[in-house]
Amino acid sequence: MALNNILIIEDDAFHATILSRLLKSLTSANIAVASNGQEGLDAISLATPDLIFCDLYMPDMDGVEFLRHFSDINISPDVVLTSSVSKDVQDSVIDMAISYGIRNISQLPKPVSKAGLADTLAHLCDTVFSPTIEVQPTGISEQEVRHALLHDEFEPYFQGHYCAKNHRLIGAEALVRWQHSHLGLLTPDKFLPVVFAGGLSYALSCKMLRVSLEAAAQWHRLGQKIQIAINVSPSDMEHEDFADKVLQAIEQARFPANKLTLEVTEVEITHDLGRALDNMTRLRMRGVTISIDDFGTGYSSISQLINSPFSELKIDRLFIERMSDSQKHFSALQCMINLGKSLDLKLVAEGIETPIQAKMMAKLGCDVLQGYYFNKPLSSKDFIQNALNQKQPETIK
């Protein structure tokens, strides 16, 4: 991440001056200072910051209110909270910010030290979000999405699933990408809002199901008989013909049903639970694994988890990210793992980015690990080539 403009939002002149001087000793960025949230918003309108340091307790507009208004602005700089309020309050503010869509947020406790600030800057500058796929398109239309569906421009990229005990490749999740004719390779956040708004989610899910199974069937013929996981939404499950379409795709690809996992995201409410259970049960009877995805962040109740035919529970990456700095998140993580084990569910942890996280999740009892620590999402060709070469990530020891 290049640091050209930094914004400090801090009402205490002494702390603002110290932070500004420390930043000037560590970076060559332009530094602007605002004394409250409103002044911070005004500063953003004049120059887009790459990094924001924000206090919480300030007069007029405090940091919490600033973050609420900031989330409506179409920019995404990193945000670092610098506050003396208690850590549990800061944790709640971070959760609130994430719910508003502010993903790149962290905290740096006061008083700020040069060493602590240097570590924060080093972490931010070393963070790479796949520049080859992080294109910033504008104005994608529903017509373009429909054209892409008709011309097979959507394709699966695969990220490995690894045994928590020995880090052996045992499966892969299919993640949708759009090979746009002008904008290059696009990630879902660039086009899914248009897909959902246009009522095209089911068509995209069916397309991904077909092409992902075709790729996985080819891997099986090459001797890599691994599990394939494909994402579907609860609204997909409510379609009367959903189970039939899945079974038809399995038959056409000549793929074993017991090697398919359907990951049902938890973040959407199921309006027709009866129809969803109908489809899930029919698929489970034929050997398909049904996984509840992003568990802990959505609307599912424990009774729904018990009464639905899930055989796998996938823990949301948020709890992995926060387990080392938030006792609440770590405790919640332990509860979810214990719940899953007591219900005899396979446990999958996503978002594994460090060896410490991999070791901890294995120790806590997770069965399967997934994340950039092992590999980034790859095209079908690159993924199977790595698997055939038995190429393990350099970070795995």
Query: pLDDT class for 25, splitting at 50, 70, 90?
Result: confident
Helix (H) or strand (E) holding 277: helix 273-285
Q: Which residues pair with 295 in a beta bridge?
A: 315
List of domains in the chain: 5-126 (3.40.50.2300), 142-388 (3.20.20.450)
Task: Give me the pLDDT at residue 120, please.
Answer: 83
Residues recorded for the chain: 397
Is residue 396 over pLDDT 50? no
Q: What 3-state class would DSSP assign to 41? A: helix
Task: Give me the pLDDT at residue 194, please.
Answer: 86
Least confident of 143-152, 202-211, 312-321: 312-321
Strands 105-107 and 78-81, how do they pair?
parallel
Task: Give me the pLDDT at residue 298, please.
Answer: 54
Q: What percent of the chain has pLDDT over 90?
A: 57
Provide the whole-model pTM: 0.68
Helix-helix angle 37-46:63-70, to 10 degrees: 30
Task: Give me the pLDDT at residue 138, please.
Answer: 46
- Listed in sequence order, the DSSP H helices in 102-200 are 114-126, 142-150, 192-197
More confident residue, 27 or 378: 378
Task: Give me the pLDDT at residue 95, please.
Answer: 84
Averaged pLDDT score across all residues of the chain: 87
pLDDT tens digits along 41-78: 999 999 999 999 999 999 899 999 999 999 999 888 99
Least confident of 230-244, 335-349, 379-393: 379-393
Contact 349, 336 (CB under 8 A): no
Q: Cα dist. 80→32, 53, 54, 123, 135 in Å?
A: 15, 5, 6, 12, 24
d(Cα 226, Cα 249) in Å, to the nearest integer?
A: 18
3-state helix, strand, coil in the chain (%, to 5): 45, 20, 35
d(Cα 63, Cα 309) in Å, to the nearest integer?
A: 44
Give me Rg for the CA atoms of the chain.
23
- Give the residue-averaged pLDDT of 324-343: 90
Least confident of 98-112, 188-202, 295-309, 380-394: 295-309
pLDDT tens digits along 246-281: 999 999 999 999 999 999 875 455 667 788 888 999
